Amino acid sequence: MPQFEYIGYKYANYPFAYLFKDVNGSKGNKKIHQIIFGDWVGVLKPKKTDGDYIYVRVRGENGWMHKDALLDERVLEIVFLDVGQGDGALIVTPDDEHIIVDAGLGDNMWRYLKWRYNEFKTQWTFKYAVASHPDQDHYGGYHYLAGEPNVFFNEFLHNGLLEYQDNIKPSYFGESIKTNRTYYTELFDSKQKVTDYLAHEPNWKHPSGNSHWDKKYAKLLKRMLDNNKINGEIKMISEADKYLDGFEQNKPLNIQILGPISETVNNKKALRSLGGKGKTKNGHSIVFKLNYKDINILLGGDLNIKAEEFLMKKHTGQTLDFNSGTEENEFIEGARNIFEADVSKACHHGSADFTSLFLRCLNSVATVISSGDEEQHSHPRPDTLGAIGLNGRGDRPLIFSTELARSHRENENKTLNEIKELEIRLATTTSPAKRLNLINKIQEKNDKLKERNVTVYGSINLRTDGERCIIAQKLEKGGGSKVWDLYKLEKSNIGRFKYVP
């Protein structure tokens, strides 16, 4: 039986609060945890009554928090997860709706969500699973969630593109129309269309029978459908939809869909070619702009130069041919009404495939870069980091990196040495039972090491009530009661968010 009984719920106040061991904050009272803005706090039946302190449970510990350190209302939360090379974010809304935007390539998103949602011991349904575009480092992690018995999604959202095996269709994206450029018209905007595509296996299975060459995005969708993970539709979304269902313009939290841009060609809905296959997939990323009260947050997928230019032209109705610096500045001021974001997720992991003009239109006070170690592109690029800083808002624009948030720590060496010792024993052990026991111990230590890296140190946490915002990452070695590296964004006297040191 648990040693606590919940009688209510509250949330940590801005910018952070402390959980105390004893009933008051007097000198010598031990601080158990530093709790960041918006953290969930369970109110417990008190052991004894005190007017200013409340008995609570938070982050697996019981203790006392001052009543002024607690809020009644939930905040907007976005976790930019360290998924290695790729993108993965979890959105939790003030109304307790949960959305995954990309899931990385490997199992990091799955590990994080298992930790957060109590190992999925009970059924859990996410409102949306979003694949911003069909590149593996954005959707691969959904394979692990598709295998979780208690995980479901109300809808699966994507940009509508599915690839065909060679010689099945006129192009790798199916039917197309060629005018002065190529337009792809075979867009998968319903579960039925996806089901029909998958039912004809030559569309996506390699003729050699080697499954390694099968279309991997198709394999994900098949696994999702075979396991009945998607309760509702598989939807293509685009700028034509304007807002995400359930988050319309009149809602306190509204989510605009700025991309991809769909067009009508010969009475057919189409996505234009933006170059080769990779450029087109990346350029037609789903682009979300979250507007919560006074704050704006942009999630830009893997936009590239052609895509950024196309979005700016379409949303403003103007060309990008400027005759003077004045004309360019006037364009930027107008474009900021559409694109400006207080916080933005850097497009394409800090790739050099960007325009400075788009960064000037974003004018972000904080930028989050999701990138990994084991990749060949050296993301984030040095010129990209410089351009983000140069074109950011204020004297000290912030740049966060999931890759830097999760670097190796010296105290991991103890666990790594334990693993090496077990491996040496394994190499000299002949008993099958003992070998199996050693293999399980090695796997357990590796899993715990990876889980701690991902769930504790690799995440960049954004919390906002729409008027104040923090962005925080866990310190690798906390000093005393301080365990978070925390940055505050607050409104200036002209109503725009700025970094407050």
pTM: 0.89
- CATH T-level topology, domain 76-404: Metallo-beta-lactamase; Chain A (3.60.15)
pLDDT in tens, 158-199: 999 999 999 999 999 999 999 999 999 999 999 999 999 999
Q: What is the pLDDT of residue 351?
A: 65
Nearest to 463 by CA among 11, 37, 160, 98: 37
Would the pLDDT of 375 be above 60? no
Of the segments 38-47, 258-267, 447-456, 478-487, which one has the largest average pLDDT value?
258-267
Averaged pLDDT for residues 125-135: 97
Are 247 and 101 a contacting pair, CB within 8 Å?
no
Say what the pLDDT of residue 201 is.
97
What average pLDDT is seen over the chain?
A: 88
> What topology does CATH give the domain 1-72?
SH3 type barrels. (2.30.30)
343: which strand partners? 297, 366
Q: What confidence score (pLDDT) does residue 408 get?
A: 43
Query: Which run of H or E residues covers position 256?
Result: strand 253-259
**Mean per-residue pLDDT for 313-327?**
95
Bridge partners of 243, per DSSP, are 256
462 pLDDT above the threshold of 80: yes
The H-or-E segment that residue 367 falls in is strand 366-369
pLDDT at position 348, please?
Answer: 60
Tokens of 28: 């010598």
Q: Are 227 and 146 in contact (CB under 8 A)?
A: yes
Q: Where do we find the tokens 């979250």?
A: 290
Exposed, middle or buried: residue 188 (CB in 10 Å: 0-12, 13-18, 19+)?
buried
Tell me the C-alpha distance between 15 and 489, whole Å. 10
Q: Are 29 and 20 in contact (CB under 8 A)?
A: yes
Confidence of residue 47 (pLDDT cuts 50, 70, 90): low
The domain limits of the chain are 1-72, 76-404, 410-457
pLDDT at 56: 92
Is pLDDT above 90 for 229?
yes
What is the maximum span of the chain, computed from C-alpha positions, in angstroms?
80
Say if residue 25's pLDDT is above 70: no
Tell me the per-residue pLDDT of 61-118, one tens digit each, with 9 for 90 and over. 888 999 999 999 999 999 999 877 788 999 999 999 999 999 998 898 999 999 999 9
* Interval 252-266 mean pLDDT: 97
pLDDT for 257 equals 98
Q: What is the pLDDT of residue 409?
A: 46
Is the pLDDT score of 381 beyond 60? yes
pLDDT over threshold 50, residue 266: yes
Question: What pLDDT score does 9 carry?
Answer: 93
What percent of the chain has pLDDT above 90? 66
User: How confident is the model at residue 382, as a pLDDT?
Assistant: 73
Please state, in angstroms and rounded to a whole number, the distance separating the CA atoms of residues 202 and 179: 29
pLDDT at residue 459, as a whole number: 86
Tell me the average pLDDT across 25-52: 79
Specify the pLDDT at position 22. 78
Q: Average pLDDT of 9-37?
A: 84
Q: What pLDDT does residue 32 have?
A: 85
